Chain A
């Protein structure tokens, strides 16, 4: 049986151990398992396919080049998501995108300022890539997620899209458990508010 087929049945920790031994197929297996979850998380955080692709690539390169630092007593996916989140938050800080929502910056003092900083997902279709992004992230719930603060967004996506427990999220994002619960509670509340007009 080829090694790649054997690898697909192994738990993450065993695949990571094989990667530590220098097996390229194990590195590829880890990428195969997590490219979609990591890319989806980052894409929903930055809302730009090209940037998300670059950041996801940076994440995997960092993780795989430092695989010897991985400690098997922790979940591999938690370590990976932690690095993905750090890379994304660093990017958002650098670009100051964390203050921009699709409805405009919350710091905007006037309607004109809010208009200037707003991102119209549907009207951006200038290139096929933009159109694809608009299609992918254009649903009401995706737009509502985009209005959340990055910390809330990361928590709610990890909780409900990735199915992580509160404890795992706390470990992944280096936040106290109580803070994670608060963020998720607030995120749910804000999302329900943002989507209420569709339900009424």
Chain B
């Protein structure tokens, strides 16, 4: 090469480009003191640039950013995170938790199998339990209706049967809805004023 390196050729060497084209450039830089000095000066600059420090923003930068970021957590992610939060952190704790869950599952399986073999007894017990709950609930409701509306209402409901109870419930729900609507209208009117 019978000339000095061009600026773009110095850039090529600076960027560490490889290939057939760079071999004569490197050979020239080795032989020519002026080009070697030029290349060295460019390398020095690059080294200085590469060693420039990174500045840190003020403390609490992340919090200030996050205060303006809308994080929408889907329900399944929230649920997963909650469940993950319940899991013990240590390996031994997790092993114990799994052992406990396994034991509970085993006991439940055995109980379920036993109940299946005694299905008629189970059905009888459930029926009896339901009848008692029904009687108790009706007693409580009848007491409340008698207190609020008098014995005549309770007798009328008993006479009307299921249809009477349904009608009474419908009237009750309708009254509650009308009352709620009226209350909302009053509140809205007060706000406007």
Q: Do A and B bind each other?
A: yes
A36: chain B residues within 8 A (beta carbon): 54-57
B50: chain A residues within 8 A (beta carbon): 160-161, 163
Chain A residues numbered 1-46 whose CB sits less than 8 Å from any CB in chain B: 3, 21-24, 27-28, 31-32, 35-37, 39-40, 43
> With A and B bound together, what is the CA distance between A110 and B7 in angstroms?
32
Minimum distance in angstroms from A145 CB to a CB of chain B: 8
B residues apposed to A, CB below 8 Å = 7-8, 11, 14, 41-42, 44-46, 48-50, 52-58, 61-62, 64-66, 68-74, 77, 81, 84
Give the dominant DSSP class at B's interface. helix
> With A and B bound together, what is the CA distance between A22 and B52 in angstroms?
35
Is residue A75 within 8 Å, beta carbon to beta carbon, of the partner chain? Answer: no
Identify the closest chain B residue to A2 (Cβ): B89
Minimum distance in angstroms from B71 CB to a CB of chain A: 5
A61: chain B residues within 8 A (beta carbon): 65, 68-69
- B68 with A142: CB separation less than 8 A: no
8 additional contacts (CB under 8 A) given A136-B55, A161-B50, A181-B11: A36-B56, A56-B57, A57-B64, A64-B69, A65-B68, A65-B70, A141-B52, A189-B7
Chain A residues numbered 36-86 whose CB sits less than 8 Å from any CB in chain B: 36-37, 39-40, 43, 52-53, 56-57, 60-61, 64-65
